[in-house]
Amino acid sequence: MYLYNTLSHQKEEFVPNHPDVVKMYTCGPTVYHYAHIGNLRTYIMEDVLEKYLRYRGYPVKRVMNITDVGHLASDGDTGEDKMLKGAKRENKSVLDIAQFYTDAFFADCKKLNIKRPDVVEPATACIGEYIRIIEKLLDTGYAYLAGGNVYFDTAKLEKYYVFYDHDQEDLAVGVREGVEEDGNKRNKNDFVLWFTKSKFEDQALKWDSPWGVGYPGWHIECSGISMKHLGQDLDLHCGGIDNAFPHHTNEIAQSEAYLGHKWCKYWFHVHHLNTESGKMSKSKGEFLTVSLLEKKGYDPLTYRLFCLQSHYRRNLVFSWENLDNAAAAEERLLSRIAALDPADQSPVDQAALAALQARFTQAMDADLNTSLAVTALYDVLKAKTNDATKLAALADMDRVLSLDLLARAAARRETQETDPEIEGLVAQRTKAKQEKNWAEADRIRDELKARGIVVTDTPQGAKWRRV
């Protein structure tokens, strides 16, 4: 399969470092508030990537951090700690806030059919890892102490801006956010590895360190957690595109300085979900959460389909109207699947199944083209093959897309309309069969068929549906 690698700016064939495991790392949520659906778009697409790797036969070990300390209001080192801000807002302890929003995050993931990663690690559980890395960075001259904090010295690197040439843009960010200068920094892009002299007197969580009581910077946690669980190299690192700089850039800086070799092979970045007025955020406009979608009567899986309908490297514009279009497409898809006969006893046509699967893998192998993969579902419905084969193909693709297609179609069959006249005919046919009056049973079946009704005999009795 081919994946776009942000590091090389091109699509590359995916070849993991080790044949026995794909090491995949995902930046997890900062648990100070509910996730908005823009954050969740990233997790949906990462979930699809993980499931597709497994579908292709790769054993995957996926690790995700939970940021419960150290993430300041800006992605640099300025502003208030987001966790502390959440705790103050809700008058709770930082740990209570972390637990509450971690649970809320995974509840949202469950509704969106996002699988929980194999390892989920809170940042506060790995302080020893960060200290070990920082000590070595100080020993080797990549880090320095200033004003009580430990900083990473970006001037020691041959190349700091590994993804893009951010220099100009980055300056603009500084001006825009009104970031105050940190006089301790030797270079503009240096970042904090460990805070002791915090301007936040009331920082709730602090640990002992060789440099005094304090807490870790945000970036170090992903390097520490990744190395703890996945060792000295990574195949895939995922996150939202806004994490490429400075977060991932800093992760690479400190990890490779620490390891002395290349760290991660492929960088997978999901682009923004925008509203019609611009980038989605928690503070601007309507706070779009999974709960809000539900409150408005949408199935969260409709949002998953909405995301799958577009490519992960394109910005996607969310509006209620766009979501309604996805809901209408979903409605058509599910009703057509519900019209397939689940009791079809014909053998699965293996050649037809393989041809349908090939369309799906072709789409997904091309840098995870999920919108074409969704089209492959319609190809299944249009194919000239029996229902058993179609249902097998849909079930197979849904292992990756996770839209609960078959279960939701089955639920539609259950809640079939009631029609006394047709039910009367179905009952007459059942009676004729019990009386072994086969001619009469067949006559009624044909009459129903002429009205566009198909009857299926199941262990629970005869079921009917319109075709």
| 209 class by beta-carbon count within 10 Å (0-12 exposed, 13-18 middle, 19+ buried) | buried
Cβ at position 222, least distance to Zn ion in Å: 3
Q: Which helix (H) or strand (E) holds 432?
A: helix 420-434
**Taking a C-beta distance cutoff of 8 angstroms, is the pair 182, 77 a contact?**
yes
Task: Tell me whether residue 63 or residue 374 sits nearer to Zn ion (CB atom).
Answer: 63
Which of 222/334 has CB closer to Zn ion? 222
222 vs 338 by CB, closer to Zn ion: 222
Does an H or E element contain 149, and which? strand 149-152
Burial-class residue 95 by CB neighbours within 10 Å (0-12, 13-18, 19+): middle
CB of 296 to Zn ion, least distance (A): 32
ω into 59 cis (within 30 of 0): no
| Side-chain half-sphere exposure of 172, counting CA atoms within 13 A | 4
Nearer to Zn ion by Cβ, of 42 and 209: the residue is 42
Give min distance, CB of 380 to Zn ion, in A: 38
Strands (E), 67-131: 119-122
What's at 126, amino acid-wise?
C
List contacts with Zn ion (CB under 5 A): 27, 222
Q: Which residue has the tokens 């801000």?
A: 85
Task: Give the residue with the Cβ less far from Zn ion, 92 or 228.
Answer: 228
Pairing of strands 273-275, 119-122: unpaired
Non-local CB neighbours of 279 within 8 Å, separated by 6+ positions: 38, 272
Cβ distance to Zn ion smaller for residue 236 or 377: 236
Identify the burial level of 217 via C-beta atoms within 10 angstroms of its C-beta, where 0-12 means exposed, 13-18 middle and 19 or more buried: buried
Closer residue to Zn ion, CB minimum distance, 27 or 40 = 27
Q: Which 3 state secondary structure label does DSSP give 58? A: coil
Contact call for residues 211 and 194 (beta carbons, < 8 A): yes
> Given the complex with Zn ion, which of 218 and 312 has the nearer CB atom?
218
Under 8 Å between Cβ of 304 and 402: yes
Q: CB of residue 87 vs Zn ion: minimum separation in angstroms?
A: 22
Phi, psi of 189, rounded to the nearest 5 degrees: -90, 0
The nearest distance, CB 191 to Zn ion, in angstroms, is 13
Closest CB to Zn ion among 86 and 240?
240
DSSP result, 367-429: T--HHHHHHHHHHHHHSSS-HHHHHHHHHHHHHHH---HHHHHHHHHHT----HHHHHHHHHH
Q: How far is the CB of 151 from Zn ion (least distance, A)?
A: 19
To Zn ion, the closest distance from the beta carbon of 61 in angstroms equals 17
> Would you say 222 or 373 has its CB closer to Zn ion?
222
Of 312, 93, 357, the C-alpha closest to 202 is 93
Helix runs in 260-369, H state only: 290-295, 300-308, 320-338, 350-365
Nearer of residues 222 and 352 to Zn ion, judged by Cβ: 222
Name the minimum Å distance from CB 249 to Zn ion. 11
Smallest separation (angstroms) from Zn ion to the CB of 27 = 3
Report, in Å, the least distance between residue 79 CB and Zn ion. Answer: 18
At residue 301, what is the residue type? Answer: L
Closest separation in Å from C-beta 228 to Zn ion: 14
